[in-house]
C-alpha cells in the first residue's frame, strides 16, 4: 500500500546554523518541499542581510533537494513600514516570542503591552505579513498556553486583518479559540499528536520528549488529534523539530526540543492510516498551509509505503524521537 503526497510543507522548523545546520537541514529537505524556518539563532535573525545570508546557507546545504526555505524574522516592536517593506517577498512571517519562554528567546517581548506592539503589528497587517506566536505566559507550566489564549484573542480582535498563527498548540483551549476568530490559525507538531505529560515524566524522565510547550493532558491531545485528522482548514503541520546535541538533552538542565524531522512524514502516515483519515493527510501537510500563507510550493511528489522504517539512534549528535525503534511506514520514493 502507498500514499502519495504533493509538496509536503513543514510550517515550523528549527535548523540552527553551522555544523548543526549541515546535519539537520538535509533531513528535512529530503522529504519536504519547503519549511518555515524559525529565526531564534544566536543572535536572532533581525535584519535583511542576516535573513538573506541564513537563507543562502540553508540553500547551500540543501542544494541536492527540491526545497524552499520560507524565512522569518524575530519580532521587535521597533520594526517600521520602510524596514519591513524592504524585505519584499523574502519575508514569509515574523515570529514573536515572549522573553525567555524557550530556547534563544531572551530578546523577546516582555509584558505584552498591546499599545507598545501596535505600530509594528499595524504595519504587518498592512503589508500582509503573518504573525507567528509562541503563546505561553510565565505562569504554571501546565497552564501557560491556556493563560495565553486571552492574549491571542485580544490581538486577533485588535488587528482583524493580521493573520495570527498560534504555534505548536497543545491544548483544547487553543483549538477552541480557532473557531472564535477568523484570523487565528495554528500549527500542530507530530509529537503533540502522540504524547502527553505522562510520556515525558510519568515514568522515568524522558529528556528527548521534553519541549516547550510541554505536552499536556489526554483530552488536550485528543482535541489536537481531532482537528489534525479532520484537516480542519485552520490547522497545518509544523513539526517544531528542534535539534539539540545529546549532551544538552541528557543533562541536569535539559534543553527543550524534540527532533522529529527525519521521521515526521512516515509517522504522520502511520497515524493518519491507523485513524482511517489518510484522505486528509495531504491537506494537513500541505494544502492548508498553501491557503493560509497564500503560497505555491515547489513541485515534489513523495510516495510513502507500509514498509517499516528503522529510526537511527542518532543523526550526528542529535537523538531523534523513536530512536532505535521502528515506524510501520517509510518513504518509498521522491520525484
Ligand atoms: O521545545 C522547543 N524547542 N520549543 C521551542 O519553542 C523552541 C525550540 C528550540 O528552539 O529548541
Ligand atoms: Zn519552535
Closest atom of ligand 1 relative to the 211 alpha carbon: 1
CATH code of residue 221? 3.20.20.140
Active site members: 240
CB 4 within 8 A of CB 27: no
Task: Return the ligand number nearest the Cα of 200.
Answer: 1
Q: What does the DSSP assignment read for 290-312?
A: HHHHT--PPP-EEEEESS-EEPP
Residues spanned by the domain of 34: 2-334
Cα-to-centroid distance, 148 and ligand 2 (Å): 16
Give percent helix, percent strand, percent coil of the chain, each to the nearest 5.
40, 20, 45
Closest atom of ligand 1 relative to the 97 alpha carbon: 6
Tell which one of 39, 40, 44 to mutate to probe ligand 1, the residue whose CB is within 8 A of the most ligand atoms. 40
Say if ligand 1 is within 6 A of residue 44 CB.
no
What is the three-class DSSP state of 66? coil
pLDDT tens for the 335 residues of the chain, in order = 999 999 999 999 999 999 999 999 999 999 999 999 999 999 999 999 999 999 999 999 999 999 999 999 999 999 999 999 999 999 999 999 999 888 888 889 988 888 999 999 999 999 999 999 999 999 999 999 999 999 999 999 999 999 999 999 999 999 999 999 999 999 999 999 999 999 999 999 999 999 999 999 999 999 999 999 999 999 999 999 999 999 999 999 999 999 999 999 999 999 999 999 999 999 999 999 999 999 999 999 999 999 999 999 999 999 999 999 999 999 999 99
What is the three-class DSSP state of 56? helix
Grid cell at residue 17: 546554523
Domain count, the chain: 1
Q: What does the DSSP assignment read for 262-291?
A: GGHHHHHHHHHHHTT-GGGHHIIIIIHHHH
Amino acid at each position: 500500500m502507498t500514499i502519495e503526497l504533493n509538496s509536503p510543507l513543514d510550517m515550523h522548523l528549527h535548523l540552527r546554523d553551522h555544523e548543526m545546520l549541515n546535519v539537520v537541514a538535509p533531513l528535512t529537505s529530503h522529504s519536504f518541499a519547503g519549511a518555515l524556518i524559525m529565526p531564534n539563532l544566536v543572535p536572532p535573525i533581525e535584519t535583511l542581510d542576516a535573513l538573506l545570508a541564513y537563507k543562502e546557507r540553508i540553500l547551500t546545504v540543501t542544494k541536492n533537494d527540491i526545497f524552499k526555505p520560507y524565512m522569518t524574522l524575530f519580532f521587535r516592536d521597533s520594526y517600521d513600514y520602510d524596514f519591513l517593506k524592504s524585505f519584499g517577498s523574502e519575508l514569509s512571517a515574523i515570529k514573536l516570542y515572549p522573553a525567555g519562554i524557550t530556547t534563544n528567546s531572551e530578546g523577546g517581548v516582555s509584558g505584552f503591552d498591546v499599545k507598545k506592539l501596535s505600530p509594528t503589528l499595524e504595519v504587518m497587517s498592512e503589508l500582509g505579513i503573518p504573525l507567528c506566536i509562541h503563546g505561553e505566559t510565565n505562569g504554571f507550566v501546565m497552564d501557560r498556553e491556556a493563560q495565553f489564549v486571552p492574549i491571542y484573542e485580544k490581538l486577533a480582535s485588535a488587528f482583524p486583518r493580521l493573520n495570527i498563527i498560534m504555534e505548536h498548540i497543545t491544548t483544547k483551549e487553543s483549538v477552541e479559540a480557532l473557531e472564535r476568530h477568523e484570523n487565528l490559525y495554528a500549527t500542530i507538531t507530530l509529537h503533540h499528536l502522540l504524547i502527553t505529560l505522562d510520556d515525558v515524566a510519568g515514568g522515568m524522565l524522558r529528556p528527548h520528549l521534553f519541549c516547550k510547550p510541554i505536552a499536556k493532558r489526554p483530552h488536550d491531545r485528543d482535541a489536537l488529534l481531532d482537528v489534525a485528522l479532520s484537516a480542519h482548514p485552520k490547522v497545518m503541520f509544523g513539526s517544531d523539530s528542534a535539534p539539540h546535541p545529546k549532551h544538552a538533552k541528557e543533562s541536569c538542565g535539559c534543553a527543550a526540543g524534540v527532533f522529529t524531522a527525519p521521521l515526521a512524514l512516515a509517522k504522520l502516515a502511520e497515524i493518519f492510516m491507523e485513524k482511517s483519515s489518510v484522505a486528509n493527510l495531504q491537506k494537513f501537510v500541505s494544502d492548508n498551509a498553501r491557503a493560509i500563507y497564500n503560497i505555491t510550493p515547489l513541485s515534489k511528489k513523495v510516495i510513502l509505503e507500509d514498509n517499516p522504517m528503522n529510526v537511527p539512534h542518532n543523526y550526528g549528535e542529535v537523538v531523534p524521537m523513536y530512536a532505535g525503534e521502528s515506524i510501520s511506514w517509510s518513504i518509498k520514493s521522491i520525484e
